[in-house]
Structure 1
Amino acid sequence: MPNIRRKIGRLIGRGQPKLSRQDYKQTWNSISESEDAAKMAVAGHTDEALYKDTGLATKRMLEETVGVRPDDVILEIGAGVGRVGAVLAPVCRKWIGADVSAGMVRHMRQRLAAFPNAEPVEISGFDLAPIADASVDMVYSTIVFMHLEEWDRYNYVREAYRVLKPGGRLYVDNVNQLTDAGWEVFEAHRAIPPQKRPPYISKTSTPQELINYLTRAGFEGIRNFDRERYVVVYGAKPQRSS
């Protein structure tokens, strides 16, 4: 997978900050000083046309799974510079972009300034504390769980349950360790010498892991499927309040 190898080459070539994987805020602030640096860290490129295309692809995926409705309040966990927000804000009541990095939030605010219903929010990296209970219709997190420890992935699933209204929907994804393409990512990252692995290097999941998180957090109607090298899992908060 040549694009994976190129990205890994860039990771190894950078000077590595003396940060642990759990130092999410310091890590992502350090690599989002400029908008181009932020885009490279998230996607490995700065091509605006490609950014729009991939944002539209994510929008289609959400429409096909959890649904995107005109009256929805939608929250993205790990919104980066607003790649997906730029295509969702025009079709929902309110879009909230939550990110751990003040730099990402700054870029997001500038890039989405034309959308008065877009609200960038800085979070701690471990919870959704700024978001009120039962105030959101749909929560999603895409190409973000790969950068988190397993406990913190589950924390966000629990927090999504808290902020969702009864009947609200959750979508998450990650690189699927059980597919050949996902295993290639796993092996390529394993080959990086441990002392040179960046704190934000991607880690894989299994479908069982993500399904377990949603199940234990209380979601129902949980479904999953493979999409290229990713696993997608989604479900809904029960209609009854809890």
Structure 2
Amino acid sequence: MAISAAARLCEASRLALSEGRRRLAFALALARGVRLLWLPRGRYKEVWNSLSGTEELAKISVLGHADEAQFSKTAEATRDMLIEHVGIHPSDRVLEIGAGVGRVGAVVAPLCREWTGADVADNMLRHIRNRLAHLDNVHTLALNGYDLGPVASASVDLAYCTVVFMHLDEWDRYGYIHEGFRVLRLGGRMLIDNFNLTSDEGWAVFQRQRADYLPGRRPPHIARSSTPQELATYFQRAGFEAVQQRCEGLWAVTWGRKPAEGMP
């Protein structure tokens, strides 16, 4: 039986929510004198700059480990998922929202005309420029954590956001999908994911976090789940058509298309 890209992503990302290792990143940041626990979750720039001072710390903060082979494996699985669900074309201008250290960009940029890695953390953008310096179609863009203000309307063919929504409040999740609709060209595509509260795997993460982090002691970057209904609602309310979903294991993946009406 063929294994779907979503299933490969789930398998490859099995360490993505490893709380023990993510707490290591938290501890490392605290050891550097960063008072993360007292930062509000919504101060994304401060939180994520604190968690990404070095490339190793940035990797652990995002995926729970710094193993480059595992990073490449998860990136390839995400690339395959994008190809399967929304396609990556040589003529595409691609935007990744919350690009981190360029984990996925390293394998997506060679397939498209232009890849822009956008992130709220200046440190992350520095890591992207260092890691992807060999690719001449890579650009970086600083975000404020709430919208895509620096991106021109109708300038992007494909926008995606992976392993990011878990770190955002619900309003900001919708904000990026709403903004994604704005920056897409007619017929443009968007894909996002988050860990799925309604799955057994997602529920296990939820219960583990409930036990590990008492109220008042939860770090601002703690991963929070979505439901498929939540994600589909965001896409539909933003104006996307052909909204589809795939839920396998830990992940709920949602994608849609900006209506092509009026295209020449």
Mark the CA change 1:5 to 1:19 in structure 2 (over 3 Å): closer, same or farther: closer
Q: TM-score, normalised by structure 1?
A: 0.95
Report whether the alignment pairs 1:237 with 2:258. Answer: yes
**Native 8 Å contact 2:25 2:57 kept in 1:** no
For 1:230 and 1:129, the matched residues in 2 are separated by 28
Shift in Å, 1:5? 4.7
Shift in Å, 1:120? 1.1
Report whether the alignment pairs 1:4 with 2:18. Answer: yes
Report whether the alignment pairs 1:211 with 2:232. Answer: yes
Q: Pick the aligned partner of 1:157 from 173, 177, 187.
A: 177
Q: Pick the aligned partner of 1:92 from 112, 124, 135.
A: 112
Q: How does 1:2-151 map to 2 (within 5 A)?
A: 4-7=18-21, 9-10=23-24, 13=27, 15=30, 16-17=35-36, 18-151=38-171
Q: Which amino acid aligns with 1:203?
A: R
For 2:142 and 2:26, the matched residues in 1 are separated by 28
**Native 8 Å contact 1:11 1:198 kept in 2:** no
Report whether the alignment pairs 1:179 with 2:199. Answer: yes
**Native 8 Å contact 2:26 2:51 kept in 1:** no
Shift in Å, 1:195? 2.2
**Native 8 Å contact 1:81 1:107 kept in 2:** yes
**Native 8 Å contact 2:166 2:223 kept in 1:** yes
Q: Which amino acid aligns with 1:92?
A: C
Q: Number of aligned residue pairs: give it.
A: 242
**Native 8 Å contact 2:187 2:258 kept in 1:** yes
For 2:91 and 2:83, the matched residues in 1 are separated by 14
State the percentage of identical aligned residues. Answer: 48
Q: Pick the aligned partner of 1:220 from 241, 256, 259.
A: 241
For 2:25 and 2:180, the matched residues in 1 are separated by 31
For 1:88 and 1:119, the matched residues in 2 are separated by 13
Note the aligned Cα RMSD (angstroms): 1.7
Shift in Å, 1:190? 1.6
Q: TM-score, normalised by structure 2?
A: 0.88
Shift in Å, 1:10? 3.0
**Native 8 Å contact 1:12 1:197 kept in 2:** no
Which residue is 1:169 aligned to?
189
Q: Which amino acid aligns with 1:218?
A: G
SS, match of residue 124 in structure 1: coil
SS, match of residue 235 in structure 2: helix
For 2:137 and 2:27, the matched residues in 1 are separated by 39
Cα-to-partner distance string for 1:111-133 (whole Å, 9 max, x where unaligned): 11111101011110001111100
**Native 8 Å contact 2:22 2:63 kept in 1:** no
For 1:48 and 1:180, the matched residues in 2 are separated by 28
Q: Which amino acid aligns with 1:99?
A: D
Runs (4 or more) in structure 1 with deviation over 4 Å come to: 11-14
Moved more, 183-192 or 8-17: 8-17
**Native 8 Å contact 1:175 1:205 kept in 2:** yes
Shift in Å, 1:6? 2.4
Mark the CA change 1:165 to 1:231 in structure 2 (over 3 Å): closer, same or farther: same
Structure 2 unaligned runs (5+)? 1-13
Q: Which amino acid aligns with 1:124?
A: N
Structure 1 unaligned runs (5+)? none
SS, match of residue 158 in structure 1: helix
Q: Which amino acid aligns with 1:232?
A: V
